[in-house]
C-alpha cells in the first residue's frame, strides 16, 4: 500500500459548534435516477443525556412510491463535535446495520453487488461533519427507513443546555429525552417541537461537567464541559492526557476530551492577571462504553495532521468512527454470501497490488540487456492500451500484464543455447479503438569472457580491455580485493602501492569472467 | 562375478521414468512444482497454477514465479517481484504475501528450507522463519547485496550473493571472494555437505568450502544454476544440462537447461524449457 500524502489533512481548522440546536440534520433524500425527493412520513428519535454529552438514535421513515429499481441518496450532517456511531437501514423488515471498513473495499463490494441489482447501502463521510449514504435498490412496496446514531455534546444556551433535535430539510422534530438525572431535564412545550433542556446548576466562576467511560483499550476517556467567567484565561488541565478542546460559539463554554488510566481526579485551572481558579472532579468511570472514546478519536482525527492513508484507516477502524478513509457498508442477510465472496476477492486484489514491485531504475524497459541466458523482465509504458503483447525473436508471443501507473510487464526467456548476438523483442500495444502501435526492446546474448592486458604506469596498475565492464577486481597477495576504475572507455586504473598483486578479474555485463595474472 | 559387480557399479543410480510435456502443463518453462496427492501446484514465467497434468488448470496468480520450495504439504512460492506466498495444498488455502507486514523488508531473492526453519535471502540480509516468528538480520557487510542462496550447516549459516559467499560466524558475516580462492563471486546455489558447504557459481563451476578453505570440484559445466540432493547424491543443474554425481563421476540426466530441480514423492523432477522429466532411483 503506497503512502498517500495528505497535505491538508482534514479541512476543519476551527472547531465551533453549530448555532442551531440540530443534532442530526437530514438535508436531502432523493431518488438518484429521477432526483425526485422522498416524502418524510415519520421521525422517531430518542436522546440519552450523559453529563455533557448526548447520544441520539433517530429513525427517519420515508414513503417509497417507486415501483422500479431505485437508488436512494441521503445527505446529512451532524454538529461538528459530534460523531456518527452507527448507520443502518431496513431492507423489507430486516434491519441492516452498517459495517465500518476501508472505503475502497466498501466501494468495491458495493459496486460489485449493485451491478447485480442487489441490495446494499453505503455511507461515506464527505467532511468531518457531513455524510452521504446510498441505498440500492429499495425494496418495492416497503417504506425507506434509515437509522442514524450519533454522539455529541449538549449545546449551551444562557445558563442551560439544549438537547439538539433531529431535523429534516430545516424542520426540527420531537424526540424523547432520558437521563440518569431526570431532575436536570426540562421540557418547554410552548415551542414546536417541544424544546428539551438540561439544567446543571453553575457552581462558582469555574464550573465543570464531566462524563467518563472505560474503553476496551484500557483507557478511561473523559468528556468535559467547562463554564468559566474568564473565557480568555489560560487553561491548564491535570489528570488527563492527550486533551483536545473544542469551543462552542458562546465563548464562555469550552468542551474537552482526554483520557487517563483508571479512576482519579481531573483538575482544571484558569489563570489570568486577576489570579487563578481551580476546579476538580473525581473520575470513577464505572461505565464501560465507547461513546467518549469516539468523541476523543473524532477530535484526534480532525485536529491532528495525518500524512498516511493507512494510519487514518487503522485509527478509524480501531475506534469504529467514520473518517475520510472509511465507509459504512450495510448488506442484507440475503446477500451476505455474495458480500463475503466479494470481500475475499477484494482482499486478494489488494494483496496482489501490495506486492512489492521490482525497483525499475531510470524507467528502463527491461532489467537485463546483456545475458548468457535467463528470464529477463520487460516493462513498457502504455497507459491507453487495452492489450499489450510481445513477440520474441523466435516468433513466440505472450501477453504483458497491466500494472500500476499505466505500465505493462512480463517475463520472457533467453534460451541458454541461443547463439551469441543481438536480439529484438517487438511489443505491440492495442488501444480501445483497435489501433496497434509497435515498439521494441533489444538484448544481447554474450558468452565470451573479456580479455585484457595489464601494465604498471606511474604507480597505477592499468588494464586495457573492453569498455564498460561491470567490475574489474584486483586481487592482492593478502587476499584483499579492490575495484579498478574506468578512466576512459576500455581503460581501467588503480593505485596499488607496494602491495603484491596476484591477478585481475574482469566481469562483463553478462557476468562472463576473464582473468589476467600479474606478478610483481 | 567381478564383471557383474563392475556392470552394477556402472549402472546409473537413477533412471528416467516419464516425461510431462509442456502441452500438459499450463505453460512452458516451469520454475517449480509442488504436489499433494493428485493436486499439482506449478509456477513459472506465466504465473502460478493449480491442477493436474493433462487436466484443467486454475490460475492462482499471473505473476512470474521464481521458485517453489515444499515443506511437508506446504509450498512456499517465491515470485520474481520478491513476494512470497504460502500454499497449503491439502487445505486448499493460499496465504498471500507472507512477508508483508511480517518483515521490515518484505522482499526475497531466494528461499531455503531445513528441518527447523525457513530462510529467505533478502535485500541486504536474510529473514528466518521458525514457528510463526520472523527474525530479520541486515548486517552492514551485506548492504545493497541480494542474498541469492542460503543454507545452514549445523548451526552455521552460509549466504550466497552476487558479490561473494558469506559465512555467518557469531552473527557477523565473513566474506569469501576472489581473494579467498573463489573462482567466481556470483553464488547461484548452496547445498550443505557434511561439515562443508557446496556453492554453485554463475560462471565458476562448483566449489566446496569448509571454514575459509575453498576447493574447486570438477564439473561438466561451469555455469551452475541449481544444486539438489536425491537419494543422498548431488544433482547439479547448469545452463547446458543436469547431472547426478555417481561416486566421482557425473552422470548426465538431461542435456538442456534445467529450469528447476526438485523432488516429488520418491521421484526426482527436472524442469526443462519444454516440460518436466521425472527420475527414480534404479
State mean pLDDT over A255-283: 83
pLDDT of amino acid B250:
96
Instruction: Say which residue, A26 or A341, is predicted with more confidence.
Output: A26
Q: Which residue among B61, B179, B273 places its CB closest to the CB of A481?
A: B179
Judge whether residue A411 has pLDDT over 60: yes
Calculate how close chain A gets to B130, using CA atoms only, in Å.
Answer: 22
Per the DSSP assignment, residues forming a β-bridge with A152 are: A54
pLDDT band of residue A147 (cuts 50, 70, 90) is: very high
Distance CA B219, CA B232 (A): 18
User: Do B97 and A475 lie within an 8 Å CB cutoff?
Assistant: no
pLDDT band of residue A412 (cuts 50, 70, 90) is: confident
Q: Which residues of A touch B79 (CB under 8 A)?
A: 355
pLDDT of amino acid A158:
79
Nearest CA in chain A to B65: A411
pLDDT of amino acid A58:
96
Distance CA A96, CA A73 (A): 17
Judge whether residue A354 has pLDDT over 70: no
User: Do B45 and A412 lie within an 8 Å CB cutoff?
Assistant: yes
Grouping H, G, I as helix, E, B as strand and the rest as coil, residue A274 is: coil
In sequence order, what DSSP letters do the residues of A116-163 get, joined into one string?
TT---EEEEEEETTEEEEEE-SPPTTS-EEEEEEEEEE-EEETTEEE-
Task: Quickly tell me which residue has 580485493 as its cell.
Answer: A481
Burial of B10 (0-12, 13-18, 19+ CB in 10 A): exposed
Residues in chain B whose beta carbon is closer than 8 A to a beta carbon of chain A? 29, 45-46, 61-64, 79-83, 96-97, 100, 106-107, 177-180, 183-186, 202-204, 223, 239-240, 256-257, 273
Distance CA A51, CA A271 (A): 25
The residues of chain B scoring below 70 in pLDDT are 1-12
Flag whether the ipTM exceeds 0.85: yes
Q: Which residues of A touch B83 (CB under 8 A)?
A: 355-356
pLDDT band of residue A287 (cuts 50, 70, 90) is: confident
Q: Which residues of A touch B184 (CB under 8 A)?
A: 513
User: Do B100 and A375 lie within an 8 Å CB cutoff?
Assistant: no
Judge whether residue A118 has pLDDT over 60: no
Distance CA B107, CA B87 (A): 18
List the one residue out of A29, A27, A40 whose CA is nearest residue A134.
A29
pLDDT of amino acid A479:
93
Judge whether residue A178 has pLDDT over 70: yes
Nearest CA in chain A to B106: A356
Judge whether residue A20 has pLDDT over 70: no
Q: Buried b vs exposed e over A251-289: b needs ≥16 C-beta within 10 Å?
A: eebbbbbbbbeeebebebbbeeeeeebebebebebeeeb
Handedness of CA A29, A31, A34, A36 (dihedral sign): negative
Q: Which residue among B96, B184, B273 places its CB closest to the CB of A351?
A: B96
Q: Which residue among A412, A479, A507 places its CB closest to the CB of B180?
A: A479
Cell of B199: 556453492
User: Do B45 and A411 lie within an 8 Å CB cutoff?
Assistant: yes
C-alpha distance from residue A272 to each of A230, A235, A240, A278, A502 (Å) = 8, 9, 22, 12, 82
In sequence order, what DSSP letters do the residues of A84-101 get, joined into one string?
EEEEEEEETTEEEEEEEE
Q: Which residues of B touch A475 (CB under 8 A)?
A: 178-179
For A78-88, the pLDDT digits (tens) are: 987 899 999 89
Distance CA B277, CA B21 (A): 8
pLDDT band of residue A503 (cuts 50, 70, 90) is: very high
pLDDT of amino acid A331:
78
User: Do B97 and A354 lie within an 8 Å CB cutoff?
Assistant: yes
In chain A, the percentage of residues whose pLDDT exceeds 70 is: 88
User: Do B107 and A377 lie within an 8 Å CB cutoff?
Assistant: no
- Give the max Cα distance, chain A: 111
Grouping H, G, I as helix, E, B as strand and the rest as coil, residue B117 is: coil
Q: Which residues contact B84 (CB under 8 A, 6 or more apart)?
A: B76, B77, B78, B97, B98, B99, B108, B111, B120
Q: Which residues of B touch A372 (CB under 8 A)?
A: 203, 223, 239
Count of pairs with CB atoms under 8 A, one residue in A, one in B: 84
Grouping H, G, I as helix, E, B as strand and the rest as coil, residue A430 is: strand
Q: Which residue among A348, A398, A505 places its CB closest to the CB of B178?
A: A505
Amino acid at each position: 500500500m503506497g503512502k498517500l500524502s495528505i497535505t491538508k489533512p482534514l479541512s476543519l481548522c476551527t472547531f465551533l459548534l453549530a448555532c442551531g440546536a440540530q443534532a442530526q440534520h437530514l438535508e436531502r433524500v432523493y431518488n438518484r435516477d429521477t432526483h425526485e425527493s422522498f416524502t418524510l412520513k415519520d421521525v422517531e428519535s430518542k436522546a440519552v443525556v450523559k453529563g455533557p454529552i448526548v447520544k441520539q438514535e433517530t429513525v427517519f421513515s420515508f414513503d417509497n412510491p417507486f415501483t422500479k429499481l431505485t437508488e436512494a441518496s441521503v445527505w446529512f450532517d451532524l454538529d461538528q463535535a459530534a460523531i456518527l456511531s452507527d448507520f443502518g437501514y431496513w431492507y423489507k423488515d430486516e434491519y441492516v446495520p452498517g459495517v465500518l471498513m476501508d472505503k475502497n473495499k466498501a466501494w468495491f463490494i458495493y459496486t460489485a453487488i449493485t451491478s447485480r441489482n442487489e441490495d446494499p447501502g453505503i455511507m461515506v463521510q464527505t467532511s468531518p461533519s457531513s455524510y452521504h449514504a446510498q441505498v440500492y435498490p429499495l425494496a418495492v412496496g416497503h417504506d425507506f427507513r434509515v437509522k442514524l446514531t450519533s454522539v455529541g455534546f449538549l449545546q449551551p444556551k444562557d445558563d442551560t443546555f439544549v438537547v439538539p433535535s433531529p431535523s429534516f430539510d430545516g424542520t426540527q422534530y420531537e424526540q424523547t429525552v432520558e437521563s440518569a438525572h431526570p431532575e436536570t431535564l426540562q421540557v418547554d412545550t410552548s415551542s414546536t417541537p417541544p424544546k428539551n433542556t438540561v439544567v446543571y446548576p453553575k457552581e462558582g466562576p469555574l464550573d465543570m461537567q464531566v462524563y467518563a467511560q472505560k474503553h476496551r483499550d484500557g483507557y478511561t476517556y473523559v468528556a468535559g464541559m467547562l463554564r468559566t467567567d474568564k473565557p480568555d484565561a489560560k487553561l491548564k488541565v491535570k489528570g488527563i492526557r492527550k486533551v483536545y478542546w473544542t469551543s462552542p460559539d458562546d465563548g464562555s463554554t469550552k468542551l474537552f476530551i482526554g483520557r487517563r488510566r483508571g479512576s482519579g481526579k481531573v483538575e482544571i485551572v484558569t489563570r489570568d492577571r486577576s489570579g487563578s481558579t481551580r476546579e476538580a472532579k473525581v473520575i470513577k468511570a464505572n461505565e464501560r462504553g465507547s461513546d467518549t472514546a469516539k468523541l476523543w478519536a473524532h477530535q484526534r482525527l480532525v485536529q491532528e495532521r495525518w500524512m498516511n492513508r493507512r494510519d487514518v484507516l487503522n485509527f478509524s477502524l480501531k475506534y469504529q468512527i467514520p473518517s475520510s478513509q472509511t465507509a459504512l457498508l450495510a448488506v442484507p442477510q440475503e446477500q451476505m454470501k455474495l458480500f463475503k465472496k466479494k470481500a475475499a476477492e477484494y482482499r486478494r486484489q489488494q494483496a496482489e497490488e501490495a506486492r512489492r514491485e521490482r525497483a525499475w531504475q531510470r524507467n528502463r524497459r527491461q532489467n537485463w540487456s546483456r545475458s548468457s541466458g535467463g528470464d529477463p523482465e520487460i516493462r513498457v509504458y502504455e497507459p491507453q492500451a487495452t492489450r499489450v503483447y510481445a513477440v520474441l525473436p523466435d516468433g513466440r508471443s505472450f501477453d504483458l500484464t497491466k500494472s500500476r501507473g499505466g505500465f505493462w510487464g512480463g517475463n520472457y526467456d533467453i534460451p541458454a543455447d541461443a547463439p551469441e548476438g543481438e536480439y529484438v523483442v517487438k511489443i505491440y500495444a492495442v488501444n480501445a479503438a483497435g489501433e496497434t502501435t509497435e515498439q521494441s526492446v533489444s538484448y544481447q546474448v554474450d558468452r565470451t569472457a573479456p580479455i585484457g592486458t595489464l601494465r604498471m604506469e606511474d604507480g597505477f596498475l592499468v588494464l586495457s580491455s573492453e569498455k564498460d565492464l561491470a567490475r574489474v577486481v584486483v586481487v592482492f597477495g593478502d587476499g584483499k580485493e579492490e575495484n579498478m576504475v574506468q578512466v576512459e572507455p576500455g581503460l581501467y586504473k588503480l593505485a596499488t602501492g607496494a602491495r603484491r598483486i596476484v591477478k585481475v578479474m574482469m566481469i562483463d555485463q553478462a557476468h562472463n569472467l576473464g582473468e589476467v595474472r600479474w606478478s610483481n | 562375478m567381478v564383471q557383474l559387480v563392475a556392470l552394477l557399479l556402472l549402472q546409473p543410480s537413477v533412471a528416467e521414468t516419464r516425461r510431462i510435456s509442456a502441452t500438459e502443463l499450463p505453460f512452458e518453462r516451469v520454475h517449480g512444482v509442488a504436489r499433494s496427492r493428485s493436486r499439482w501446484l506449478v509456477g513459472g514465467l506465466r504465473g502460478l497454477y493449480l491442477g493436474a497434468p493433462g487436466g484443467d488448470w486454475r490460475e492462482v496468480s499471473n505473476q512470474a514465479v521464481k521458485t517453489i520450495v515444499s515443506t511437508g504439504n506446504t509450498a512456499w512460492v517465491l515470485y520474481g517481484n520478491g513476494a512470497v506466498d504460502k500454499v497449503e495444498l491439502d487445505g486448499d488455502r493460499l496465504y498471500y504475501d507472507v512477508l508483508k507486514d511480517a518483515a521490515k523488508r518484505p522482499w526475497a531473492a531466494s528461499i531455503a528450507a531445513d528441518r527447523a526453519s525457513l530462510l529467505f535471502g533478502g535485500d541486504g540480509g536474510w529473514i528466518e522463519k521458525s514457528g510463526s516468528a520472523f527474525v530479520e538480520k541486515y548486517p552492514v557487510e551485506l548492504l545493497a547485496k541480494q542474498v541469492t542462496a542460503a543454507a545452514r550447516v549445523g548451526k552455521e549459516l552460509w549466504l550466497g550473493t552476487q558479490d561473494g559467499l558469506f559465512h555467518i560466524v557469531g552473527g557477523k558475516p565473513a566474506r569469501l571472494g576472489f581473494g579467498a580462492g573463489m573462482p567466481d563471486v556470483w553464488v547461484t546455489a548452496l547445498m550443505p555437505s557434511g561439515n562443508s558447504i557446496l556453492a554453485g557459481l554463475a560462471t565458476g563451476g562448483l566449489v566446496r568450502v569448509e571454514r575459509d578453505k575453498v576447493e574447486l570440484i570438477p564439473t561438466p559445466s561451469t555455469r551452475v544454476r541449481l544444486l539438489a540432493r536425491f537419494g543422498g547424491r548431488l544433482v547439479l543443474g547448469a545452463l547446458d544440462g543436469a547431472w547426478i554425481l555417481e561416486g566421482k563421476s557425473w552422470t548426465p540426466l538431461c542435456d538442456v537447461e534445467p529450469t528447476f530441480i526438485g523432488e516429488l514423492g520418491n521421484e526426482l523432477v527436472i524442469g526443462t524449457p519444454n516440460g518436466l522429466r521425472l527420475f527414480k532411483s534404479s
